[in-house]
Structure 1
Amino acid sequence: MEVHFIDVGQGDATLFLGPDFTILVDAGRHERNDVVPYLKNHGVSNIDLLIGTHPHADHIGQMDKVIENFDVAEVWMSGDEHTSQTFERVLDAILASEAEYYEPRAGETFHFNSALVEVLHPEMLTGDLNDGSVSLRFVYGDVKFILTGDVEHSERDIINRGYDLEADFFQLGHHGSSTSNTQAFLDAIKPDVAIYSAGANNSYGHPHVEVVNRLKNMDILLYGTDIHGSIIVKTDGQSYTIHTERNGTIQADHNDNEQGESKQDNVEETRRSNNSSTVDCIDINNASLEQLTAITHIGDARAAELIELRPFQSINKLTRITGIGSGRLNDIKEEGLACVN
């Protein structure tokens, strides 16, 4: 089997190409057109299973093109809905095709000939597009891979379900964000190799320096599409080799002076930008995306949505953001970082 972690910039697309199965997890960004050519260049003619982990445009961006260009037998999605044109295009493509549609749930297992697919998440619809990401463990012989889309806080739910999470490879959650990839989750997976998909010099600072250092301290090999290009793992089910499009080294502090600040760094920068020693909060109507992610429960996707929804008249209006309910709103207010000036 070959597993291709395709370089699609700041997005995700992972191809499992086996002797008797073809599975594609996510399909890159909506404003690019690189997934279909990549698949064709590697001899793909039909797809047994196409998975959109969640409805954000950096994950399902080219799913409609994939469906239109290949014979797709089955499509899986989380069941969460989005109002974006990208999501609508994907739904239209599914309906116009002959593909079967399914929404997998935690605890289910499926055989695709010699591949075993175990569903780790979600257990039910969460209403949170990131935390509702379809999360999977792929088993081929004795070699195992875990992919979790953009799951954040639900990592602990996956752990608490008591599944066997050990795997040789872990595709870092949320492009290597510090809102995912917790120490507890890494301890449960015990991967030999971690791989993330992110765009070069991306504005989110992915992978976050906290995660890179965490992996380094655990002696986990780290590869990234921003540094190595497309990454291909080849395995006979017993051993594996890793091939990269280009050479490079991921430094533990390679983003430290650019976009990879810790949350505390973001908070301190926000305090400085307010130019007042008496202001000790993040103004949600003026803060940058990176500064907003310092607020609890506000990851990259929610920060982007927050910016689109501005202005907010009060902190209470943060419930307009997908996945921010009364419970998370209370957490944000108790933390005391978010404010409206």
Structure 2
Amino acid sequence: MTVAEKVIKPTKAGIFRTVFLYTGQGESTLLVIPTGSKVNDYMFVLVDCDRDKEPNEIDLIEMFKDLFVTDGELSIFINTHPHNDHIGGIKEVYDEIGFSEVWHSNHKPGGEHKKKYKDFQYVVEKVGKSNEYFLLGSNALNKIRTSDDKEVIKNIGLVDYQILSPAEYLCEDIEDADANERNRRIHEQCGVIKFTYGKEAKSILFTGDSDKKAWQEHITDYHMDNLPSFVLSASHHGSRTFFKDDEDDDDVYETHIENIKPTYLIISAPKQDDSPHGHPHDDALELYKKHVDEDGIFHLGANVISVIVDIDSDGNVDVNTDKELIEEYGKGNDDDDDDSSKNTARNIYIGSQTSKIDNKPMG
């Protein structure tokens, strides 16, 4: 059995597993979604893609090759927005691994993101119009928009999802804008998706790089009752833009997180000194700490870990850290070879985790 199979594939039926993969300054999360009552009844969905040459980041292609060496396949790629650190390497993943569907925000960027966006367009063309879906906000469960503009109910296994953003009227507004305005508003048009599972329903909320304007003007008021989530993936790698327009903005926005009420927060970012943008921002961390207990905050880059969240069919949740994927598939590990880095990852950036996590994958 390969490391990827051991860590990622559940050994019990009916587990919804979410693997927040360490990819440095970027984001890639693998969903293992139950589809039936047998141990091997699962489908695999990738939310965002980041594949470049940062130290220790997991090579998605090598990991997927090992994950699917005996069975299974990647079914869907969901892109919250087409920035380089959320679509980087997707052409190679498609060519080497393959997947049948693409869900995306339908944003058209320019500037520095154009090259990788062309790679993303290549993938969309390859899967074909009938397998392309648009993320548009809805109060309905499991509703998505086809590429020919039809709203459809589309189930993905036994897990429910709800698309909270972007709003349709916003997409229409941005579509008519020039390239500079589109680039400026890409985070406003970012996909925000909630996945829910279990009899006592537990949810994981993916926020992409959605910003204060998106939440304040388009998401929170409209979806207030649908915001509560057990696990929150921190927007924009722990950037202050979730709460503020900029560092000097005194009009701090917290209504969204007051209603999300997360128990766990996952921050996909490298060590702060290694981030070109200083992620996660100190002022954002202080705001997050007002709403999430310190032992529930996981910054992937602080100890170079991935985080695995398991929800069973009753709604019980287990959260564990993992270093095996990084040790096996990480690139440039020479700076992380000391013994302490390969022991338990209990000191995760903020506070000290004791009873809630260890370094063993669930199964």
Report if TM-score (shorter chain) is over 0.5.
Answer: yes
TM-score normalised per structure 1: 0.69
Give 2:195's aligned amino acid.
Answer: F
Who is 1:41 aligned against?
66
Identical positions, percent: 23
Separation in 2, partners of 1:71, 1:140: 27
After superposition, residues 303-314 of structure 1 pair within 5 angstroms as none
The CA deviation at 1:70 is 2.9
After superposition, residues 72-151 of structure 1 pair within 5 angstroms as 72-83=99-110, 84-97=114-127, 100-107=131-138, 109-110=141-142, 111-124=155-168, 125=171, 126=174, 127=182, 128-141=185-198, 142-151=201-210
TM-score normalised per structure 2: 0.65
Q: Deviations over 1:88-139 (max 9, x none)?
A: 0111122124571111210053221201110000013133212111110011
Between 28-37 and 109-118, report the one with greater CA deviation: 28-37
Where do 5+ consecutive residues of structure 2 fail to align? 1-15, 36-42, 143-154, 175-181, 244-252, 324-344, 352-363
Give 1:178's aligned amino acid.
Answer: R
After superposition, residues 251-330 of structure 1 pair within 5 angstroms as 251=350
Who is 1:329 aligned against?
none
Separation in 1, partners of 2:132, 2:53: 25
Give 1:26's aligned amino acid.
Answer: D
The CA deviation at 1:28 is 0.8
Check whether the contact 2:141–2:161 (CA below 8 A) recurs between aligned residues.
yes
Who is 1:244 aligned against?
321
Separation in 2, partners of 1:176, 1:73: 31
The CA deviation at 1:31 is 5.1
Separation in 1, partners of 2:195, 2:283: 27
Between 170-179 and 160-169, report the one with greater CA deviation: 160-169
The CA deviation at 1:224 is 1.4
The CA deviation at 1:172 is 0.5
User: Per the alignment, do residues 41 and 224 of structure 1 end up closer, same or farther by CA in structure 2, a change over 3 Å counting?
Assistant: farther
Check whether the contact 1:64–1:94 (CA below 8 A) recurs between aligned residues.
no
- If asked which structure has higher relative contact order (CA below 8 Å, sep 6+), I would say 2
Considering only CA atoms, is the larger Rg found in Structure 1 or Structure 2? 1
Who is 2:82 aligned against?
55
Q: Deviations over 1:145-187 (max 9, x none)?
A: 0011111020122101134110000001010111115421110
The CA deviation at 1:30 is 4.7
Separation in 1, partners of 2:188, 2:255: 17
Give 1:23's aligned amino acid.
Answer: V
After superposition, residues 143-292 of structure 1 pair within 5 angstroms as 143-152=202-211, 153-156=213-216, 157-163=218-224, 164-181=226-243, 182-200=253-271, 201=273, 202-220=275-293, 221-228=296-303, 229-237=305-313, 238-246=315-323, 247=345, 248-251=347-350
The two structures, once aligned, show a CA RMSD in angstroms of 2.1
Where do 5+ consecutive residues of structure 1 fail to align? 253-341
The CA deviation at 1:205 is 1.7
The CA deviation at 1:77 is 1.3
Give 1:94's aligned amino acid.
Answer: V
Give 2:60's aligned amino acid.
Answer: V
Check whether the contact 1:137–1:146 (CA below 8 A) recurs between aligned residues.
yes
The answer as to 2:44 corresponding to 1:22 is: yes
Task: Please give the secondary structure, in 1, of the residue aligned with 2:302.
Answer: helix
Check whether the contact 2:34–2:157 (CA below 8 A) recurs between aligned residues.
no
- Between Structure 1 and Structure 2, how many residues are aligned? 252
Task: Please give the secondary structure, in 2, of the residue aligned with 1:2.
Answer: strand
The CA deviation at 1:244 is 1.1
